[in-house]
Structure 1
Amino acid sequence: MKQSPLILPDEWISKVSRLSIATSSKVRGQHKGSHRSQRFGASLDFSDFREYTLGDDVRQVDWNVYARTEKFFIKRFLDEQEMRVHILLDGTRSMGEERKWLFARQIAAALGLMVLQRDDRLSFSYIGEQSAMPFRKKGAIYRKPFLQIVSNLEEAQGTGNFASNGLKVLPKDSTVLFIITDGLETIEQWEQFFKRLPRFAGDVRCIQIVTEEELNPQYTGDVRLIDAETAREVNVSVSNRVRANYDKLRAEHEGQFNALASRFGIRKIQLIVEDGFQNALFHKLLKAHWVQ
């Protein structure tokens, strides 16, 4: 496969490496990692004492406490467990505008680099016409291979329903699930998708990618519009009334989309392409406590 230029410059990669995914989810993997879980284990993070019982490891007895109380107590430590993060990227045709698609992939790449840099487990799936190689790796040595995979996804030309197809590629053992999409499926499709997501992850987050043109189109007069998903052409005379109706329908869709996310316990944030990658990552996601 031809290797495309990396979509994140070295300067951005260096800055991204200083961040990590923030989560309060207690769902952890069984393998050692860099995050403290609520289970007890053998890390260096002290939790508390409990009275010694037959069968406990005598090496955990705290003799200083015994000298004061003449009772045997053992130290308990928080176990360190890996975080498992899955990124699901929408590659259907509505994501195909060049700047929008680049921005979505940059966000996906940045989140993935944060996971791998912290020795956590990353998996990635992509819904589009082009098949992305399955990715499920752990460790910083896989940062560049992951970045290359995302960079190689040159076009968003997927057909069909993103929401229903997305369920087919999700692992069922994630700590955090990121969904990167423009949210332009029907509300009925999103409802069927969202209500099933809690079984896949304890912490589900939806990143909605939009452009200024989608939020506030500047078309006037007679124009021919092409549906990005179906390629169907529509001739429209853009008047103030038509624009007002578009604004109304979009606001209704956005309100219902947000309400659905809230109903199913899904955290959602909207990122505008024109605001730029650095603003999205180092301002909006940090402010929302999605990264730290």
Structure 2
Amino acid sequence: MAEDEPVEKVLQTDSDRARRIQMPSLSGVSQVGIQARRVAEGLLSGQHSSRQFGQNIEFSDYREYVPGDDLRHIDWRAYARSDRYYIKRFEAETAVRACIMLDVSKSMLYGEGDQHKMQYSADLAAAIATLLISQKDSVGLALFDEELRFWLEPVGSPEQLRRVYRALEQVRPQNKTQTGPTLQFVAQHFKRRGFLVLISDFWDDVEKTLKGLNHFAHRKFEVLVFHILHPDEIEFPFLGSLEIKGLEEGVLETEGGRHIQKAFVERHMKQREDLKAGCTRLGIDYNLISTDEPLHRSLLRVLSARRQVRG
């Protein structure tokens, strides 16, 4: 891709896909890319060198049941036809088709420095993309607010990783959040099941978000949700007279800070609990991340928990 080529015109396919995938050298890589590589290299070293994301399991064939087999894998339809017990055998595909969805709405502008939600989330997206490419998987990117703003078709190559880095460097948050329409768009672009990573602060309608995620759960996608919040949004440490500026909703002036603090915390806690409960019901991996937690630690925590669940 030429250096002066607009990111919006990046081709959605790559006929020169590399057979052997390695992380790109730091030469010419953006600051987002440098941070992503550092995080990824730390996670890929030592005990963290196993596959991190997207174990795409597909049905292979049958074999007869033997005592000690997992009863969950018995095919009862085959039993009804033959009066014999058969176990479904599965195998992991060598590559996963993944998409990272990143919220670029105006509310993501909250915070400063390392705790800035948009910067933290962009670095997280870049690190995950780097890990996926290092596993020889295909990675796509969807940037959205009220609607889809940018789309990269999943491709597995170092060149694709540079496209992802460049797109993340150019993010300019605006507008409100509506997760549902972009979830629907991405679902339509996956003919087979794959791996979805959704990164957002979820200042959105929880019911509509869960409805969109249900499309992926129904098709047996592996879905990983990162709920990114600034510590202020979790604790609301403001007292006294307040002027609350909703980044997506305008301005509210009010008195009685402690009353407002309690109402805000309770309302937002319920929203988080509803989203988490809905994800659990759908079999989706939900993770609340506060931007005061260093990125490498939060990602390591999530990956470690996933490994424990998988055994």
TM-score normalised by structure 1 residue count: 0.72
Match of 1:90 in 2: 103
Match of 2:53 in 1: 22
Summarize the alignment of residues 27-38 of structure 1 with structure 2, pairs less than 5 Å apart.
27=58
Q: In the TM superposition, what is the alpha-carbon distance from 1:79 to its structure 2 partner?
A: 7.7
Describe the shift of the 1:90–1:227 C-alpha distance in structure 2 as closer, same or farther (beyond 3 A).
same
Q: In the TM superposition, what is the alpha-carbon distance from 1:16 to its structure 2 partner?
A: 4.8
Describe the shift of the 1:285–1:291 C-alpha distance in structure 2 as closer, same or farther (beyond 3 A).
farther
Describe the shift of the 1:183–1:267 C-alpha distance in structure 2 as closer, same or farther (beyond 3 A).
same
Q: Is the 8 A contact 1:127 1:158 kept in 2?
A: no
State how far apart, in whole Å, the 2-side matches of 1:287 and 1:79 are.
20
Q: Is the 8 A contact 1:182 1:209 kept in 2?
A: yes
2:297 is the alignment partner of 1:279: yes
CA displacement 1:172-211 (0-9 Å, x = unmatched): 2342111111122122222322322224552112111111
Q: 1:11 aligns with which of 38, 42, 46?
A: 38
Q: Is the 8 A contact 2:230 2:291 kept in 1?
A: yes
Q: Is the 8 A contact 1:175 1:202 kept in 2?
A: yes
Tell me the percent identity: 12
Q: Which has the higher helix share?
A: 2
Q: 2:123 aligns with which of 106, 131, 144?
A: 106
Q: In the TM superposition, what is the alpha-carbon distance from 1:108 to its structure 2 partner?
A: 0.7
Describe the shift of the 1:114–1:4 C-alpha distance in structure 2 as closer, same or farther (beyond 3 A).
closer
CA displacement 1:20-51 (0-9 Å, x = unmatched): 43345414xxxxxxxxxx538xxxxxxx9xxx
Larger Rg: 1 or 2? 1
State how far apart, in whole Å, the 2-side matches of 1:221 and 1:22 are.
45
Match of 2:201 in 1: 182
Describe the shift of the 1:124–1:207 C-alpha distance in structure 2 as closer, same or farther (beyond 3 A).
same
Q: In the TM superposition, what is the alpha-carbon distance from 1:253 to its structure 2 partner?
A: 1.4
Q: Which amino acid aligns with 2:276?
A: N
Describe the shift of the 1:24–1:165 C-alpha distance in structure 2 as closer, same or farther (beyond 3 A).
closer
Describe the shift of the 1:91–1:200 C-alpha distance in structure 2 as closer, same or farther (beyond 3 A).
farther
Match of 1:118 in 2: 135
Q: Which amino acid aligns with 1:168?
A: F
State how far apart, in whole Å, the 1-side matches of 2:148 and 2:203 are.
20
Q: Is the 8 A contact 1:103 1:273 kept in 2?
A: yes
2:238 is the alignment partner of 1:219: yes
CA displacement 1:185-243 (0-9 Å, x = unmatched): 1222223223222245521121111111001122222222222223x211122432221
State how far apart, in whole Å, the 1-side matches of 2:129 and 2:60 are.
26
Q: Which amino acid aligns with 1:196?
A: H
Match of 2:162 in 1: 144
Helix, strand or coil at the partner of 1:11: helix
State how far apart, in whole Å, the 1-side matches of 2:56 and 2:39 are.
28
Q: In the TM superposition, what is the alpha-carbon distance from 1:114 to its structure 2 partner?
A: 1.0
2:206 is the alignment partner of 1:206: no
TM-score normalised by structure 2 residue count: 0.68
2:301 is the alignment partner of 1:288: no
Q: In the TM superposition, what is the alpha-carbon distance from 1:165 to its structure 2 partner?
A: 3.4
- Which segments of 5 or more consecutive residues in structure 2 lack a partner in the other structure? 1-5, 8-27, 64-90
Q: Which moved more, 1:157-166 or 1:237-246?
A: 157-166
2:195 is the alignment partner of 1:168: no
Q: Which has the higher strand share?
A: 1
Q: Is the 8 A contact 1:163 1:185 kept in 2?
A: no
Aligned residues: 248
Q: Which amino acid aligns with 2:237?
A: Q
Describe the shift of the 1:16–1:24 C-alpha distance in structure 2 as closer, same or farther (beyond 3 A).
closer
State how far apart, in whole Å, the 1-side matches of 2:263 and 2:241 are.
16
Q: Is the 8 A contact 1:107 1:277 kept in 2?
A: yes
CA displacement 1:270-289 (0-9 Å, x = unmatched): 11110111111223333333
State how far apart, in whole Å, the 1-side matches of 2:225 and 2:153 are.
20
